[in-house]
Structure 1
Amino acid sequence: MPSRARLKPRKMPTQQRSKATVEAILAAAAQVFRRHGYAATTTDRIAQRAGVSVGSLYQYFPNKDAILVTLAERHIDAGFALVRLLLREALAETPPLAAMLRRFVLAMIVLHEHEPELHRVLFEEAPLPSHVRRRLRERENELASEVSRLLEAHPEACVRSPDVTAYVIVHTVDSLVHSFVLHPPKDIDADMMTNEAVRMLLRHLTAEGS
């Protein structure tokens, strides 16, 4: 992948028309990446799909990787913002522990089901640069902080360290849901997976302090 300097947009659009062009390029790129995968996607294909010339595309992005990075950053931020919103709603309502865990698992499913094919390209095919992966880790840490607060609001969760437990929960559920959504098993549906995940987490949380 090119250097970080070559992964930044060439210029930021300021006028409405140029903003619309950039959005068209990004929307087209998402479609092309989903359909053809990372390796087969080219700037020519993206420009054709967006209905702009390759020259117009290069005014804003130096290469396909710069477009991919912008898509990845948006995808990460939007997805985790939605999950945090759902968790904050749960924190405000303080549902029982089992219901809170179910909400968390379902929220993570929502995160991964948002453009799953693009998600697969971004996190399984594309060589994402370190600063994008660092951004992902930061969002995961923010999410773990939300889960930690939820655990602290539930005294029936007998945890020694809410922060450590929240970190383990976030990464365990993220890995499980990622695999389930992107590579769905033949005989397991979403309800079955969610129910088993909640039971597993509940057993861990209520047994940890014993």
Structure 2
Amino acid sequence: MTSGRGGLQPRKQPRQARAELTRQRILAAAAHVFAEYGHAAGTTNRIAERAQISIGSLYQYYPNKDVILVELVTRHLDAGMAATACHEDEGPPRPLEEAIRGYVRLSIENHLDDPQLLRIMVEQVPRSPELLEKRSRYQQSRTAYVRELIENHPESRVDDMHIAVRLVVSTVELLVHQLVAAPDPLDPARLENELVAMVTGYLRGGPRGLES
């Protein structure tokens, strides 16, 4: 695993369309290779072969496979933040269950492209300051989005909004990561329904709500 300053950064930022296409081919090939072989056996030789380029050409863009994997994770997080931004300011408050369903579905859809690659991303991606910062910003964007959904919502009965928001975000993100990327993944529609029921019940007061 590469360490040190700049060790997890691409070598070459494409400035021409042809170079950008080559980089896209490398990333697409790497996604397939990591999903099929895992991180340890997902070698740069296999990635270059899948991308139909020479190993020397690959190294012009990326010094090692860890840099490629970090870029794939970065793109995944960027896509999640972009999707969150698209769903902000959605107009008048919706019923609580509908609002939570929108968030849960957003999270699930962001993880369905390749569950096997997602598992590699979660379990085996190298750590870098840049990636940790990106993950922090991703978490902040999701937290702000959920707070906007449930804060001051007339159906919400939680006592501590700060804790409630963090619990909802952590629960949904963790369970979606684990259950979509599991060797025996749950059906997305069933996962969505159960997560919505669980989170909505908690926000409405759970068992406490049944006592009134």
Residues 81/74 of structure 1: CA separation in 2 closer, same or farther (3 Å cut): same
> What does residue 33 of structure 2 align with?
32
> What does residue 159 of structure 1 align with?
158
Alignment equivalent of 1:202, drawn from 200, 203, 212: 200
> What does residue 2 of structure 1 align with?
2
| Equivalent runs, 1:99-110 vs 2, <5 Å | 99-110=98-109
Equivalent residue letter for 2:39:
Y
| Equivalent runs, 1:106-121 vs 2, <5 Å | 106-121=105-120
Give the conservation status (yes or no) of the 8 Å contact 2:45–2:55: yes
TM-score (norm 1): 0.87
- Gapped runs of 5+ residues in structure 2? none
Secondary structure of the 1:112 match is: coil
Residues 191/44 of structure 1: CA separation in 2 closer, same or farther (3 Å cut): closer
Secondary structure of the 1:6 match is: coil
Give the conservation status (yes or no) of the 8 Å contact 1:83–1:108: no
TM-score (norm 2): 0.87
Q: C-alpha distance in 2, partners of 1:106/1:184?
A: 21
Give the drift of 1:82: 1.7
Higher helix share: 1
Percent identity among equivalent residues? 40
Give the drift of 1:30: 1.0
Give the drift of 1:119: 1.0
Residues 183/200 of structure 1: CA separation in 2 closer, same or farther (3 Å cut): same
Aligned Cα root-mean-square deviation (Å): 2.3
Cα shift readout 1:20-70 (whole Å, capped 9, x = no counterpart): 111111111111111111000111111111111111111111111111111
- Gapped runs of 5+ residues in structure 1? none
| Equivalent runs, 1:117-136 vs 2, <5 Å | 117-136=116-135
Figure out how many residues of one structure are paired with residues of the other and give that number. 207
